[in-house]
Structure 1
Amino acid sequence: MEAAARIVGGKAKLARLLGVRAPTVSQWCSGLRPVPAARAALIEELAGGQVSRADLCPEFPWQKLAS
């Protein structure tokens, strides 16, 4: 999550791009709250694929979607 924030230009910018508040992104970065699957997919896209949705939200069954 920290890498994604760096790639897009910081936590505040990532929050704006995602339409969430900056504290939410900080909580995702710190691990205090899990990254929701829908946000993980968008973060992967915003980061140009340099950060994987599976790494951001490992509990979601991403492999089943690919089938």
Structure 2
Amino acid sequence: MLEFAAMETHVKASVKKACKAVGGQRAMASALGIGAPQVNQWVTGRRGVPAKYCQSIVDLTEGLVTVQELRPADWHLIWPEPKSTEIEAIHSNHYDPNEGNKP
């Protein structure tokens, strides 16, 4: 895991990258429905990116910036559920613990 100072620098760089991808801090703020000063606080590291905006930022940047980059310390607590139909198909199959066993 990154040390705190390195983590903070990494988050600031990720927020800057996200803002650049969507056209700047004002564009990011507008897309998220918040004020530009709040985004500026994320860019400068005065405040962290609130969890409620992380997935929207990922979507706005088309995955260029990830939740892991925005919240490296606790991303695993806010990560959305997988939307894979393959996983759903696997879990929908009936499991017979005796399958393959010959009496």
Distance in 1 separating the partners of 2:75 and 2:53: 15
Distance in 2 separating the partners of 1:61 and 1:12: 25
Distance in 2 separating the partners of 1:40 and 1:55: 10
Q: How much has 1:61 moved relative to structure 2? A: 4.1
Task: Extract unaligned runs of 5+ from structure 2.
Answer: 1-14, 83-103
| Counterpart residue identity of residue 21, structure 1 | G
Q: How much has 1:60 moved relative to structure 2? A: 2.3
Q: Name the structure 2 match of 1:24.
A: 38
RMSD of aligned alpha carbons: 1.9
Task: Extract unaligned runs of 5+ from structure 1.
Answer: none
Does the alignment pair 1:60 with 2:89?
Answer: no
| Counterpart residue identity of residue 58, structure 1 | P
Runs ≥4 in structure 1, deviation > 3 angstroms?
Answer: 63-67
Instruction: Compute the TM-score of the two structures, normalised by the length of structure 2.
Output: 0.59
- Checking the alignment, whether the CA contact within 8 Å between 1:37 and 1:60 is kept in structure 2 is no
1:27-46 pair list within 5 angstroms: 27-46=41-60
Q: How much has 1:57 moved relative to structure 2? A: 1.4
**Aligned residues with identical type, % of pairs:** 34
The correspondence for 1:49, drawn from 57, 60, 63, is 63
Aligned residues: 67
Q: Name the structure 2 match of 1:13.
A: 27
Distance in 2 separating the partners of 1:64 and 1:19: 21
Distance 1:63 1:31, change over 3 A: same
From the CA coordinates, give the structure whose radius of gyration is larger.
2
